[in-house]
Amino acid sequence: MASRSTSSLCTTTLLLLVVSWATSATARNFYQDFDITWGDGRAQILNNGDLLTLSLDKASGSGFQSKNEYLFGKIDMQLKLVPGNSAGTVTAYYLSSNGSTWDEIDYEFLGNLSGDPYILHTNVFSQGKGNREQQFYLWFDPTADFHTYSILWNPQRIIFSVDGTPIREFKNAESIGVPFPKAQPMRIFSSLWNADDWATRGGLVKTDWTQAPFTASYRNFNADNACVWSSGSSSCASSTSSSSDGNAWLSEELDSTGQDRLKWVQSNYMIYNYCTDAKRFPQGFPPECSMS
């Protein structure tokens, strides 16, 4: 009887050790993945690395960046934005490389007066050139809870998604002379800062500092499906890897359901699209605008 109990206890202990090892091997936290880069204590990593907060007051905002650089990836982050009167504030979450001909994939959340909707501003820079803005309202209150903001970046396309719903696709249009971000590794950056000279109604609404500090929160970062760039080489075998080695996302595209959801968002929630701004481009729209 005693030996059976001992055997059972050993088995249980072994199972607990295996579960503990598996959990520690897969769990990520902000201490491992990010560095706080500015803000003099206004950015904080909390809850044993599960939560990161950025704060803004009249003296300064705050920001962080990823320890790793990535060259292609499927990257998720959950954000809960500044609640209440957030007019004048911008929460930026983006991928960017360095240098004067940088690449960048941009989410910017433009604050607003209490009760008015946030504006989600997106942009894509390639070789230092942006001017590819699309803006959206969201179909929920982004300050009431955490929501997942995702970037799929592979050699063929960039897809912005919110809670799994695609809101924007930027396709590789190199065949018609449009540079595409594919050669410069990028870090993940985020910051909360004061932009009341332009952020809300073109700068007409200023930041109400009596509401400070303003705080945005982050959790559940996931870059398991991403190619880490280190010492001149990628953690992915090659940019043409297929689903056989777990890198199906490197050739992922929107299926018919995804295309329908993209059209739904763009029909109902898009409030600005550079590809329809004729006043801005009197000589004709940028060439990628002709792609379906």
Task: Give the pLDDT of the chain (292 residues) as one tens digit per residue.
Answer: 544 444 444 444 444 433 333 333 345 799 999 999 999 999 999 999 999 999 999 999 999 999 999 999 999 999 999 999 999 999 999 999 999 999 999 999 999 998 899 999 999 999 999 999 999 999 999 999 999 999 999 999 999 999 999 999 999 999 999 999 999 999 999 999 999 998 888 888 899 999 999 999 999 999 999 999 999 999 996 544 444 457 899 999 999 999 999 999 999 999 999 999 999 999 999 999 998 6
Range 22-47 burial, b when 16+ CB lie within 10 A, else e:
eeeeeeebbeebbebeebeebbbbee
Q: ∠111-132-192 over CA atoms, to 5°?
A: 30
Q: What is the pLDDT of residue 17?
A: 39
Out of 108, 169, 174, 253, which one is annotated catalytic?
108
pLDDT at 159: 98
Token pair listed for 42: 């206004």
Q: Which residue in 104, 133, 174, 253 is the catalytic one?
A: 104
pLDDT at 291: 85
pLDDT at 292: 62
CB neighbours (10 Å) of residue 70?
23
What gap in Å lies between CA 38 and CA 57, rounded to an integer?
Answer: 13
Q: What is the pTM of this model?
A: 0.89
104 is catalytic: yes
CA distance 236 to 210: 49
Tokens of 195: 């932009």
Helices (H) and strands (E) in the chain, counts: 3, 16
* Both structure tokens of 147: 């929501």
In this predicted structure, what is the pLDDT of residue 27? 56
The question of whether 174 is a catalytic residue gets the answer no
